[in-house]
Amino acid sequence: MHAFRSHTCAELTKSNVGETVRLSGWVNRIRDHGGVLFIDLRDHYGMTQVLCDPDSPVFSQVEKVRSEWCIRIDGTVKARDESLINPRITTGEIEVYIRDIEVLGAAAELPLIVFGDQEYPEETRLRYRYLDLRREAMQRNMTLRSDVVASFRRRMWEKDFREFQTPIITASSPEGARDFLVPSRLHPGKFYALPQAPQQFKQLIMMSGFDKYFQIAPCFRDEDPRADRSPTDFYQLDMEMSFVTQQDIFDTIAPVIAGVFEEHGQGAKVDDPASWPQIPYKEAALKYGTDKPDLRNPIEMQDVSDHFRGSGFAIFAKLLEQDGTEIRAIPAPTGGSRKFCDRMNSFAQKEGLPGMGYIFWRDQGEGMEAAGPLAKNIGPERTEAIREQLGLGVGDAAFFLGGKAQAFERVAGKARDVIGEELNLTEQNRFAFAWIVDFPIYEKDEETGAIDFEHNPFSMPQGGMEALEGDPLAVKGYQYDLACNGYEIVSGAIRNHKPEIMFKAFELAGYDEAEVRKRFGALVNAFQYGAPPHGGCAAGIDRIVMLLAGTSNIREVIMFPMNQRAEDLMMNAPSEPTSDQLMELGLRVIPQE
């Protein structure tokens, strides 16, 4: 017999009754039923109930066993009585009578209980992650993650992509976030960087004549953490193709994404890739208040500025006298109660705005009446025009925000999500996708008036060189994101592969040719030797698994994540270097005041 097990804790069935078996695993739970000890023995695969009574030669040893001890047992498989069968586990028809036991690893007093669904502070869970990972939900999440990665790889190979690995130690390259720098011992005073993404390398692979590339790539960015983003490193399905248009990228990656969601979405509806809408960035901002809309929510915001110009509601009327301002309405079907409207007004105040105006429509017996402070101020004619534009009726409401879009759009988008959830308008058990397209390449700093890149500087501008001769703020890029249920899960672009267009694009953002050659020398040089048109994208593995696992915290699907302060509590990182290490690298630490 094998030294540790003849079967896993998920394998034994009625067909094994009478056999002598050997199992190894962790003690999940112990129950004492009148002197008979029942142990739920757990391994990665499942659970088996083992038992011991005073007639067993090792009863005294079994009595000493505690939760999370790692043990090996030898025993005889017995059939459970019909009334004691446990249908929730695969081994529920049998139990194993213990005849021998070996303690493989005793456990000290536990800082967190593995059995059950107790909640523990995240700090405790991350400090003792190896215990946290033993819990059923975490075992399930990590298995899901592994299966999702395997599914992506299989699907990419089926589409004739090949996987290539790109360097982890490379040169610093601005990708929109801070680099992690690595000091060079052999070149004192110089630094490598961990790659924020394989962006330049995958483009260079296309320059090298490879037609299709993909990689499950680690990326490193020194970012401020949030619930759906890791503060240090993350993984993405990275891909690039030559001789393709934007639509070719969509047609290639959409079935891959949809297939993974269908395979691992636990039966949730997955929208057909052919039906995924392509929504221009400006339209997404107007209708949804975000470039990653949740399309399970049917609410679409509308510009209702004309109904408030010169109206009796002085706050909005005066706002609209300023350039670049608007009034936007958020329809709320079935939200027509003062209680709900007041609650949403309080929500806006908690988000830092003065409040949110509202109108709701009610049946007064003799017909429909518009109620709320706004309705009284602007009068029945304007109120009725708003109702008709928004397609609302009795029992419905609408909320209003005004000013410059950038000042209120984020809150408006958040309010749309809250309204959809609270009024049960947001469809559950569905994955809804949308391509967001036509991103602006440039933005203007409101204070300095300077033009800079708003999105990926490597994107090909729509219209090429001719587009760059006009207003920079009107230039759109062949850049796209894929949103799913309110999260960005894919981002990509058709690349700018022409040196003269690249130099002009950077010149508009204040970078001269010398600076571009210094920062992106490899790309610029490669483009001079027959560069093919190419493009690609990257899909966030962590965020996709987070969605499939039904959690909103990305740390629930990462094996060993950092905390919100970018600390690894288990490994005690970051840590202080020794004096010898600093001397060898020619570095010294300047204390922060």
Pick the residue with more confidence: 296 or 372? 296
User: Would strands 212-220 and 162-163 be described as parallel, antiparallel, or unpaired?
Assistant: parallel
Structure confidence by residue, pLDDT tens digits, 433-475: 999 999 999 998 878 888 989 878 889 999 999 999 999 999 9
- Give the architecture (CATH level 2) of 297-426: 2-Layer Sandwich (3.30)
pLDDT exceeds cutoff 70 at 385: yes
Residue type, 219: C
CATH of domain 14-105: 2.40.50.140
Confidence at residue 444, expressed as pLDDT on a 0 to 100 scale: 87
Q: Do domains 14-105 and 297-426 have the same CATH topology?
A: no
Structure confidence by residue, pLDDT tens digits, 494-551: 999 999 999 999 999 999 999 899 888 889 999 999 999 999 999 999 999 999 999 9
Can you count the helices (H) and strands (E) in the chain? 17, 24
Structure confidence by residue, pLDDT tens digits, 556-571: 999 999 998 999 999 9
Distance CA 511, CA 507 (A): 5
pLDDT exceeds cutoff 90 at 367: no
Distance CA 279, CA 438 (A): 8
Non-local CB neighbours of 462 within 8 Å, separated by 6+ positions: 438, 475, 476, 477, 478
Angle at 79 between CA 77 and CA 83, to 5 degrees: 145
Instruction: Rank 338-352, 367-381, 473-487 by mean pLDDT and report only the highest.
Output: 473-487
Spans of all domains in the chain: 14-105, 297-426, 440-476+498-531
Residue 174: pLDDT band with limits 50, 70, 90: low
Read off the pTM.
0.93
Residue 175: pLDDT band with limits 50, 70, 90: low
Confidence at residue 115, expressed as pLDDT on a 0 to 100 scale: 93
Among candidate residues 425, 422, 412, the one with its CA nearest the CA of residue 329 = 412
Structure confidence by residue, pLDDT tens digits, 259-281: 999 999 999 999 999 999 999 99
Confidence at residue 460, expressed as pLDDT on a 0 to 100 scale: 96
Per-residue tokens: 142: 């990590």
Radius of gyration of the chain (CA): 30
Confidence at residue 176, expressed as pLDDT on a 0 to 100 scale: 63
Structure confidence by residue, pLDDT tens digits, 137-154: 999 999 999 999 999 999
Distance CA 423, CA 97 (A): 54
Do you know the residue count of the chain? 593
Residue 591: pLDDT band with limits 50, 70, 90: confident
Confidence at residue 455, expressed as pLDDT on a 0 to 100 scale: 78
Q: Are 137 and 114 in contact (CB under 8 A)?
A: no
Kind and range of the H or E run holding 123: helix 122-127
Confidence at residue 520, expressed as pLDDT on a 0 to 100 scale: 87
Proportion of the chain above pLDDT 70, given as a percent = 99
Confidence at residue 262, expressed as pLDDT on a 0 to 100 scale: 98
Q: Across residues 407-414, what is the average pLDDT?
A: 94
* Number of Cβ within a 10 Å radius of residue 122: 16
Range of lowest pLDDT (129-143, 208-222, 342-356, 430-444): 342-356
Strand partners, 435: 278, 482
Q: Is 160 exposed, middle or buried (0-12, 13-18, 19+ CB in 10 A)?
A: exposed
